[in-house]
Amino acid sequence: MKPKYLNIKNNTAYIRDINLIDVAKEYKTPLYVFDQYELEDNMKLFVDNFKSSNFNCHTVYASKAFLVPAMCELLVKHGLWMDAVSLGDLYVAYKSGFPMDHIIFHGNNKSKAELEFAVEHNCVIVVDHLEELVLLNNICETNHKNISTMFRVNPGIDAHTHKYIQTATYVSKFGESMFDEVTIDKIMREYVNSKYVKLLGFHSHIGSQIQELEPFLLNVSKMLSFSKQIIDKYNYQLTSVNFGGGFGIPYVQNDKPLNKELTASKMVELINSLGKEIGFVPSDVYIEPGRSIVGNSCVTLYTCGDFKHTYGDKNYQFIDGGMTDNIRPALYSAEYSCDIANKMNNEKDTICDIAGKCCESGDIIIYNALIQKPEPNDILMVYATGAYNYSMASNYNNMLKPAVVFLSDNPKVVARRETLDDLLKLFK
């Protein structure tokens, strides 16, 4: 839940040798602060543990968690692929010089413009449903362009996560059920008859914030068995399987941490052993970690405002940010932990809700937080905010989006703070 290299000096929070209070003063708050060293450690963790001498293993970063050009540079440095979900994602990657043929392009309702861009730049497209496959075929026929695809199927695995982030149930908006034989048959016949669109293999994603090994192994088993059935039934040579992501991280003290090293290595072991047993060992396998790469490597810094005790005996500590820079607690009851960064050794003796400044009663970042006694101008540090915080940030109430700083040897701004003039840039 806390950054790997967080330490305390003189009652103050540091990441490695960088004083976070100094960072807050220099770059203002609210502020997202990533430790670049931990980011790169997390990338290396998957690359080092998701590997095999029997097939090619690809770690594909799920960019929806957090994407800026500086992140693209780190992905290239460590040999990761990228998972994109919109034309905006594709464009950021393209303008950042990311190799477009190492992009897996997702989405349940891709537009014609998005598909045309992905085809033009040789991305691997994850097709969501039959109608999309027909549209993609038409685009490729019109442009006489070959494209490699995967097709998203739902294995029917109930990962124990919030219903908003379960993605492989029978009623999910994503993909098609692998048990819907009629629909799968129509899809496969479209592929068999296509001159330009090639099916590399199938993709699945069973949910997010999964904390147990077993669902990942069950997904491996189901996906390999399903792929072998398709190969045999349609005499269609598949080469790949994409097992998606969902690798959870701890946010609060009671969260059970997923052993990512063990999970990645066990998946590889099962792919190899089961693949040999059933007669299908894919030449290329993919996983798509996002949150587990960026989540714990970031903290958000806020400046404390007033402390309010209500007639109803509720304490509020106000901060200079809120749901515009972290919508997750309001969206699906996400939990976080925090500290006063300039009082790290002080006793935690105050229980309060950490309240944002938006005009919403639900603008609460943390309910019943146990923290050091806060005072105005203290710096509140909220842990594990690297995933889905900046990428979901909004201008509700005309709030300004915070800056993003990467800490390597020195702080570096990788996304500047919005200005008041930025709020007017789309208006006429």
Q: List, in order of start, the domains of the chain with CATH numbers.
A: 6-35+295-424 (2.40.37.10), 67-289 (3.20.20.10)
At residue 212's C-alpha, the angle toward residues 80 and 180, to 5°, is: 80
Contact status, residue 306 vs residue 376, Cβ threshold 8 Å: yes
What is the tens place of the pLDDT at every residue in 219-243?
999 999 999 999 999 999 999 999 9
pLDDT digit string (tens) for 61-113? 999 999 999 999 999 999 999 999 999 999 999 999 999 999 999 999 999 99
- CB distance 344 to 308 below 8 Å: no
Q: Give the span between the Cα atoms of 339 and 342, in whole angstroms.
A: 9
Instruction: Enter the tokens of residue 398.
Output: 């005309």
Q: How far apart are CA 148 and CA 275, in angstroms?
A: 23
The pLDDT, as a whole number, for residue 386 is 98
DSSP assignment string, 263-315: HHHHHHHHHHHHHHHHT---SEEEE---HHHHGGGEEEEEEEEEEEE-TTS-E
First to last CA, the chain: 44
pLDDT at 135: 98
The region of weakest confidence among 71-80, 168-177, 181-190, 318-327 is: 168-177
Cα angle for residues 343, 348, 349 (degrees, 5° grid): 125
> What are the C-alpha distances in Å from 307 to residues 23, 25, 121, 264, 379?
24, 21, 53, 45, 14
The DSSP output letter for 376 is T
Give the C-alpha separation, 58 to 309, whole Å.
52
Output the CA torsion sign for 158, 163, 166, 169. positive
- Give pLDDT tens digits for 358-413: 999 999 999 999 999 999 999 999 999 999 999 999 999 999 999 999 999 989 99
Distance, in Å, from the CA atom of 249 to the CA atom of 154, rounded to the nearest integer, reads: 23
Task: Find all residues with CB under 8 Å of 13, minimum gap 6, and list them.
Answer: 6, 7, 19, 20, 21, 339, 341, 342, 344, 381
Could you give the residue numbers annotated as active site?
359
Is pLDDT above 70 for 286? yes
Q: What percent of the chain has pLDDT over 90?
A: 93
Edge to edge, the sheet with strand 6-9 lists 6-9, 12-15, 18-19
| Contact assessment for residue 280 and residue 224, using Cβ atoms and an 8 Å cutoff | yes
pLDDT given at position 170: 67
Confidence band of 160 (pLDDT split at 50, 70, 90): low
Q: Give tens-digit pLDDT for 100-117.
A: 999 999 999 999 999 999
Average pLDDT, the chain: 96
Contacts of 189 (CB under 8 A, 6+ apart): none
* Residue 313 pLDDT exceeds 60: yes
Task: Give the residue carrying structure tokens 């072998």.
Answer: 228
E-assigned strand segments in 288-417: 298-309, 315-319, 338-340, 348-355, 364-372, 379-383, 403-407, 411-415
User: What CA–CA distance (Å, rounded) separates 116 from 364?
Assistant: 41
User: What backbone torsions phi and psi does residue 190 show, to the nearest 5 degrees?
Assistant: -65, -40
Separation between Cα atoms, residue 357 and residue 30, nearest integer Å: 12
Residues 330-351 pLDDT 10s:
999 999 999 999 999 999 999 9
The per-residue DSSP string of 24-90 comes to HHHH-SSEEEEEHHHHHHHHHHHHHHS--SSSEEEEEEEGGG---HHHHHHHHHHT-EEEE-SHHHH
State the alpha helices, DSSP H only, in 280-428: 291-294, 328-332
Cross-strand pairs, 147: 197
CA distances from 89 to 25, 65, 115, 207, 276 (A): 32, 11, 13, 21, 37
What are the tokens at 265?
């290595």
User: Does 120 score more than 80 pLDDT?
Assistant: yes
Distance between CA atoms of residues 428 and 409, nearest Å: 43
Over residues 124-136, the mean pLDDT reads 98
Note whether 68 and 93 are within 8 A (CB).
no
Average pLDDT over residues 306-328: 98
